[in-house]
């Protein structure tokens, strides 16, 4: 389903879906003494997501994790829907694109680990961070030079907007 030329694939993108841990974060968890889990997210990724949403690109998330803090952050950026606690992502993605009337061939999905594998064959542009597992890298049309939590989300959004003439900065 994915195209050979990533530049052509970026021209077709009309919506984005992302995993959280290992994509929007570096995949590590800080555990507080009270047992809370803390994640670090890039403000540059956040800026790009907010800009894309403002320009009319739908952005969704499917994550195996569950974090009120992450959900609040994504809501502030305009990311919707956010599917949390999802262990088998493919059926959730397929149901969403059907309900939202999105053409899956126009979706960029970025994931980094085994739970993302069953979404990748259904999208027009499967992408991953530089530090994704080898099994994910092998099936992706685009591998960002940036690691998870370190600008890979900004990279694919900015690349899409630039290629489509939507990036508002010189």
Query: Using CA atoms, how far apart are residues 23 and 150, in angstroms rounded to an integer?
Result: 8
Q: Which of 107, 139, 141, 140 is nearest to 124 (CA)?
A: 107
Buried b (16+ CB within 10 A) or exposed e, 52-82: bbeeebbbbbbbbbebeebbebbeebebebb
- The Cβ of residue 2 has, within 10 Å, a number of other Cβ atoms equal to 17
pTM above 0.75, yes or no: yes
What does the pLDDT look like over 23-49, one tens digit per residue? 999 998 888 899 888 888 999 999 999
Architecture of the domain whose range is 6-163: 3-Layer(aba) Sandwich (3.40)
Q: Which of 102, 111, 90 is nearest to 24 (CA)?
A: 111
Length of the chain: 170
Backbone φ and ψ for 132, nearest 5 degrees, come out as -65, 160
What does the pLDDT look like over 66-103, one tens digit per residue? 889 999 999 999 999 999 999 999 999 999 999 999 99
Contacts of 66 (CB under 8 A, 6+ apart): 84, 85
Tell me the pLDDT band of 2, cut-offs 50, 70 and 90: very low
Domain extent listing, the chain: 6-163
């Amino acid at each position: 389903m994915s195209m050979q030329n990533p530049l052509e694939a970026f021209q077709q993108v009309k919506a984005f879906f992302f995993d959280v841990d290992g994509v929007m974060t570096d995949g590590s968890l800080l555990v507080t003494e009270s047992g809370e889990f803390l994640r670090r997210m890039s403000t540059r990724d956040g800026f790009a997501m907010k800009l894309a949403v403002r320009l009319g690109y739908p952005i969704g998330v499917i994550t195996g994790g569950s974090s009120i803090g992450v959900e609040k952050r994504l809501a502030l950026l305009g990311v919707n829907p956010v599917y949390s606690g999802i262990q088998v992502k493919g059926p959730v993605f397929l149901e969403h694109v059907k309900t939202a009337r999105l053409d899956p061939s126009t979706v960029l999905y970025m994931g980094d680990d085994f739970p993302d594998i069953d979404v990748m064959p259904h999208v027009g542009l499967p992408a991953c961070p530089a530090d994704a597992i080898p099994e994910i890298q092998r099936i992706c049309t685009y591998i960002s030079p940036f690691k998870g939590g370190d600008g890979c989300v900004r990279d694919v959004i900015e690349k899409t907007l630039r290629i489509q003439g939507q990036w508002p900065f010189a």
